[in-house]
Amino acid sequence: MPPPLIICCCNVHCYCKYVATNPKKQKNLDSFKKTTSMTIHHKQAGGKGLFFVGEEGAYLAEMVYTLPSTDKMIIEHTEVSEELRGQNVGYQLVQAAVEHARTYSMKIIPLCPFANAVFKKKPEYADVLFS
């Protein structure tokens, strides 16, 4: 069986990532599917960060951003595994970024086409959209 495809929703990258199937990742995916609520994790180091679903080393979905300054966040790309497609995980990742931006008085620049589309559909996010 080929490894599951992770769809990259961003034009910045000219490739799609494949996740190698191995017992550990399959176990993580199986246990994740059994959960009833979606847990969005956040990791930040220096001027970069990500919101993700899954466990360290076995992300099932992620939204990567950079921080060019203390008051700006650039959403670079969003990826959601095939297993989670259709469950609004991408929207939840953007929502997590919006909540983070509101908490830390930041403005978001959504370079990722998916995130940009979400901002166009959600007028309630206008308060954190960089203009």
| pLDDT tens, N- to C-terminus, the chain (131 residues) | 333 334 344 333 322 233 333 444 444 444 444 443 579 999 999 999 999 999 877 899 999 999 999 999 999 999 999 999 999 999 999 999 999 999 999 999 999 999 999 999 999 999 999 98
Predicted structure pTM score: 0.73
> The tokens 């959403």 sit on which residue?
75
The first and second tokens of residue 11, run together, are 């034009």
Pairing, β 17-18 against β 5-8: antiparallel
Specify the pLDDT at position 55: 85
Residue 60 identity: L
- Which H helix or E strand runs over 117? helix 113-121
Q: Is the CB of residue 41 less than 8 Å from the CB of residue 53?
A: yes
Specify the pLDDT at position 38: 75
For the chain, which residues make up each domain, given as ranges? 5-128
Angle 56-17-90 from CA coordinates, rounded to 5°: 65
Q: Is the CB of residue 84 less than 8 Å from the CB of residue 4?
A: no
Specify the pLDDT at position 56: 77
Specify the pLDDT at position 91: 96
Instruction: Residue 58: count other Cβ atoms within 10 Å of its Cβ.
Output: 17
Domain 5-128 class, CATH top level:
alpha beta
